[in-house]
Amino acid sequence: MGRLHRAFRIAWISLRYRLDTLIPLDRLPFFLVLLMRINPAKLFPLHDYTRGERLRLALEELGPIFTKFGQMLSTRRDLLPPDVADELRKLQDQVAPFPAVQAKATIEKALRMSVEEAFAEFDTNALASASVAQVHAAKLHTGENVVVKVIRPGVDKIIKEDVQLLYMLARLVLRLVPDAHRLHPVEVVADYEVSLIDELDLQKEAANTSQLKRNFLDSPLLYVPAIHWQFTRPNLMVQERIYSVPIAELDTIRAHKVNMKKLAERGVEIFFTQVFRDNFFHADMHPGNIFLDTSKPESPRYVAIDCGIVGSLSVEDQNYLARNLLAFFKQDYHEVARLHIESGWVGEGTRANEFAAAIRAVCEPIFEKPLKDISFGQVLLGLFQTARRFNMEVQPQLVLLQKTLLNIEGLGRQIYPELDLWTTAKPFLENWMKQRIGPRGILKKAQEKLPDWLELVPELPQLAHEGLSQLRHWQQDQQQQRLILTEMRNEIARNRRRNGQLIVGVLLFALAIVAGLGDHLLPLLEGEWQPWVLGGISLLVLLRR
């Protein structure tokens, strides 16, 4: 019943904000255009909102999952009209805040003390507000400026209802679309559900933030604010306040004479460092979560917040991904095809040369072009058609990474459109592969395993003794089996000798009868009994053999 009620609410909000007006009629089949002409949604007024405002307000009212979708769209200005992209950008940190009274009640219940006891100062006006939580500025009694992040009341219920609706849609797609099994829609929703549930737990976010801070400690690339653990709970997090420029304010950044090319290249380097060096990446890197330290314009440093969604890969996926990317950068499409087949990412029986030719046709036009000249919409469409042709399956464990890469690419396009993504990333991946499989990598792995090997040293005598004991028991078993086989052969031989003696005795007895009866048996041997007598003698001879 909850899912049905949620579905009706989604339909009602879509009608109220006239989202049907955002559908381009010139790209629809004739019968759909006809349906849109007689659409009952036209009974609802458009009000004075622009199309961007209608979309933003609808996504905001629909809840966290839809808001996050709008956040991701806002980074892709190559796919949206400027007025829509500008409006959706407000979803990054300008969602309508919930009342400060509720925020204070949540804080006091979590800390079991009043806001005045916990903080020397607390600003009741929200500093920023997003789909899952909002942030208030505050000061500790020790004098440190902090931000207090509070989960929205009741947001968990909305998210659970939306996730159940997504599961229903995923199962419906599996039933209605024959090729949908390749996309693993249910598994993708399951992974997304885990990310959303984790985002509701601010203690997990705090732990992720601490890990990311350790990974980039004293790094010129990225700064991560510190966590104040004594004030952190599952629905509350207190963090060091940073005073940096939001990455979306490009005019302000340019006014500080920041090296934009260096800034874009460092963004790519941060992404690949997180994915391959640390295997721990910030998976919600939309502009609302990224700031810039402009104190050194020629050496700009990013500042990252909101680590509620992070990702990591298995060692196998990490290796396959790195080798695939390197093969792409080298335009070695046969190697790309071989790796996809070897990893099981394409259907069984796929011919490497055919798959390589199909990938080449899609990817070759995009190389040696800056971001501003690449139509990623066409590239993604071409790759999807190729995937369908070769039964390529979506890898749910890579979906989060792909989403992050889209965010990074969209951000890079805004910062420095002339960025050569391939040239920037290729040296980093080559160095990583050398460190992984070269002499240094082997030595490093040996050093990592050395403590485990040393732990086994005191046990080696016991292990050797047990091994020798097992070998001795095995030898004894083998010896016993050989004795049994020898006894069986001897018994068979004895039986044969006894049978032979019996047959000889019978033959001698028969001869004695023949000799004793003499002429009385001769007529029998010459008559009709002759075959039977000779047959009996022959049978005795065969038995002897």
Residues 436-484: pLDDT tens digits?
765 555 555 555 555 665 665 676 677 666 667 776 776 776 777 777 7
User: Is the same domain home to 132 and 185?
Assistant: yes
User: Is the same domain home to 271 and 311?
Assistant: yes
Q: Which two tokens stand for residue 380?
A: 């993604």
Residue 286 pLDDT more than 50? yes
DSSP string for residues in 285-320: --GGGEEEE-SSTTS-EEEE---SSEE---HHHHHH
β-pairing verdict for 281-282 and 310-311: antiparallel
State which of 73, 91, 109 marks the end of a domain: 91
Quote the pLDDT of residue 9: 80
State which of 91, 121, 142 marks the end of a domain: 91
* 47 part of a folded domain: yes
Q: Which of 93, 162, 284, 293 is catalytic?
A: 284
DSSP string for residues in 493-505: HHHHHHHHHHHHH
H-state helical runs in 91-146: 100-111, 115-118
Which residues fall within 8 angstroms of residue 218, CB to CB, at 6 or more apart? none
Residue 251 pLDDT more than 60? yes
Quote the pLDDT of residue 539: 45
Q: Which residue has the tokens 């080798």?
A: 323
Question: Per-residue pLDDT tens for 184-199?
Answer: 778 878 877 887 788 8
Residue 127 pLDDT more than 60? yes
Look at residues 17, 368, 364, 65 and name the one whose alpha carbon lies nearest to residue 196.
65
User: What amino acid occupies position 305?
Assistant: I
Q: Are 150 and 235 in contact (CB under 8 A)?
A: yes
Using DSSP's 3-state secondary structure scheme, residue 347 falls into: coil
Using DSSP's 3-state secondary structure scheme, residue 131 falls into: coil
* 169 part of a folded domain: yes
User: Is the same domain home to 377 and 469?
Assistant: no
Whether the full predicted model's pTM is greater than 0.85, yes or no, is no
User: Is the same domain home to 207 and 335?
Assistant: no
Number of domains in the chain: 4
Residue 529 pLDDT more than 50? no
Residue 403 pLDDT more than 70? yes
User: Is the same domain home to 153 and 198?
Assistant: yes
User: Is the same domain home to 276 and 424?
Assistant: yes
Q: For this structure, is 284 an active site residue?
A: yes
DSSP percent split of the chain into helix, strand, coil, nearest 5: 70, 10, 25
* 385 part of a folded domain: yes
Cα–Cα distance, 158 to 71 (Å, whole number): 18
Q: What is the mean pLDDT of the chain?
A: 78
The range of the structural domain enclosing residue 372 comes to: 255-437
User: Is the same domain home to 487 and 350?
Assistant: no
User: Is the same domain home to 292 and 234?
Assistant: no
* 406 part of a folded domain: yes
* 442 part of a folded domain: no
User: Is the same domain home to 56 and 156?
Assistant: no
- Least reliable range by pLDDT among 41-45, 210-214, 332-336, 354-358: 41-45
User: Is the same domain home to 366 and 471?
Assistant: no
Which residues fall within 8 angstroms of residue 271, CB to CB, at 6 or more apart? 281, 285, 404, 405, 408
* 453 part of a folded domain: no
Q: Which two tokens stand for residue 471?
A: 């070998």
User: Is the same domain home to 242 and 259?
Assistant: no
Look at residues 466, 93, 87 and name the one whose alpha carbon lies nearest to residue 247.
93
Question: Per-residue pLDDT tens for 346-369?
Answer: 766 778 888 888 888 877 777 666
Cα–Cα distance, 44 to 22 (Å, whole number): 15
User: Is the same domain home to 417 and 282?
Assistant: yes
Greater confidence (137 vs 368) lies with 137
User: Degrees (nearest 5) of the Cα angle 290, 409, 399?
Assistant: 95
State which of 254, 276, 304 marks the end of a domain: 254
* 444 part of a folded domain: no
* 154 part of a folded domain: yes
Quote the pLDDT of residue 388: 64
Quote the pLDDT of residue 532: 45
Quote the pLDDT of residue 83: 83
Look at residues 454, 84, 85, 4 and name the one whose alpha carbon lies nearest to residue 248.
85
Quote the pLDDT of residue 145: 97
Cα–Cα distance, 290 to 341 (Å, whole number): 37
